[in-house]
Amino acid sequence: MWFTRLVVIALTVIPSAHAADESAAPLAVEAVVARVQPLVEEVPVTGTINPLRQALLSAEVAGLIEAIHADIGDKVARGAPLLNLDPELSSIRRDAALAEVARVRETLADSRRRLAELQRLVGDDHVAETEVENLASEVRERSAQLQAAQVETERLSALLRRHQVTAPFPGIVSMRAVDLGEWVEPGTALFELVDTQSLRADFQVPQRYFSSIRPRTEIRVTLDSGESFTTRVEHKVPVSRSGSRTFLLRTILAPGAPSGSERPQLIPGMSASAILQLKSKRQGIAVPRDAILRYPDGRITVWIAAPDSQWDKVTAVNEQPVTTGLSFNGMIEIKSGIEAGQQVIVRGNESLQVDQKIVLKRARSASPGAEGR
């Protein structure tokens, strides 16, 4: 009796389920129209953030370090003093040169005075013209001596000014190699100064892409922290490294916020990655990535609406195997399997079945070239 009841219950349940299937409403899905469009090849590259200006600073004259005004980590402005050398000996030499200028100037004034007196006596035949010419020559010689003394004074003054080392550009002191009391020679590394505001991202790109990269091409840079921002290609260096067969691609990271947003904090030496988007010379059919279904057995398919389907009307769908190609900007190339003009399902396709009834809606964020018909 109990078994019979179970059968009865089962018999009563099954027809109810079947009836529910027949009365199910069509599933609303979103679709785009497959179009032929220019294809873009995405090339992943890695690189490094480097400063535009990085310098090892040294003194132009020899001397004893008298004072140090900056240390590692200090942020300095252009022209800020970093180090002073003892100027005493150079000051003495400069003062001696100034005294020599004064002495020569006095002797020149005396020679000019005597020349003027002789020139007044020439007309009365009281003095020989040769004597006047000799005195004129003396005036010219002492004028040259005065000029030489003044030049030497300027040289010694310039050397005296060079006893102070200043920052040639704004930046951060990343190294200090000397201390008080040390004697330094010209060329001795004193500080390393790094401009952390004007940075560049350098990437090594396979040489086969050299001809495909255009100046001012936009490139999306991603840091290890996950932050990303857009910059532009500034230089591509037409020299390939013999070992790696790559060339240098340089992008400038200008100060301030890129693309109207706050720029992530960048540190010289940190790694970065980017995706180069290179326009291909060919065109092809491309659909949004959401339209693609991949199966464990390797099959790749898309769902397409029945021919002559209309928007917002009930229609049927079929699953179509496809072969894919390039992937770019949320789109993927379809090499074979569908034709331009077919309506491809991009949302709601995960649960579709063959010949299932659907209501076809236009995709809310259709990619360029995927407008409806």
Question: Which domain covers residue 277, as residue numbers?
Answer: 42-52+197-281
Same domain, 120 and 150: yes
Burial class (CB in 10 A: 0-12, 13-18, 19+), 327: middle
Residue with tokens 């005294």: 99
Structure tokens at 337: 């399997």
Domain count, the chain: 4
pLDDT at 32: 93
Q: Is the pTM value of this prediction over 0.95? A: no
3-class secondary-structure state, position 124: helix
The pLDDT of 329-333, averaged and rounded, is 87
How many Cβ atoms sit within 10 Å of the Cβ of residue 185? 10
Q: What is the pLDDT of residues 151-165, one digit of tens each?
A: 999 999 999 999 999
Same domain, 29 and 145: no
Measure the N-to-C terminal CA separation of the chain; round to a whole number of Å.
63
Same domain, 294 and 357: yes
We report the CATH number of the domain holding residue 350 as: 2.40.420.20
pLDDT at 80: 96
Residue pair 135/116 in contact (Cβ under 8 Å)? The answer is no
Q: Is residue 287 part of a domain?
A: yes
- Of 130 and 357, which is predicted with more confidence? 357
Burial class (CB in 10 A: 0-12, 13-18, 19+), 7: exposed
Structure tokens at 358: 């659907």
Same domain, 343 and 243: no
Q: Is residue 355 part of a domain?
A: yes
pLDDT at 367: 43
> Model confidence at 76, in pLDDT bands (50, 70, 90)?
very high
The pLDDT of 213-235, averaged and rounded, is 80
Same domain, 65 and 139: no
Residue pair 45/205 in contact (Cβ under 8 Å)? The answer is yes
Q: What is the pLDDT of residues 259-286, one digit of tens each?
A: 444 556 788 888 889 888 887 778 899 9
- Of 369 and 120, which is predicted with more confidence? 120
Residue pair 65/179 in contact (Cβ under 8 Å)? The answer is yes
Q: What is the pLDDT of residues 188-201, one digit of tens each?
A: 999 999 998 888 88
Same domain, 219 and 249: yes
Sequence length of the chain is 373
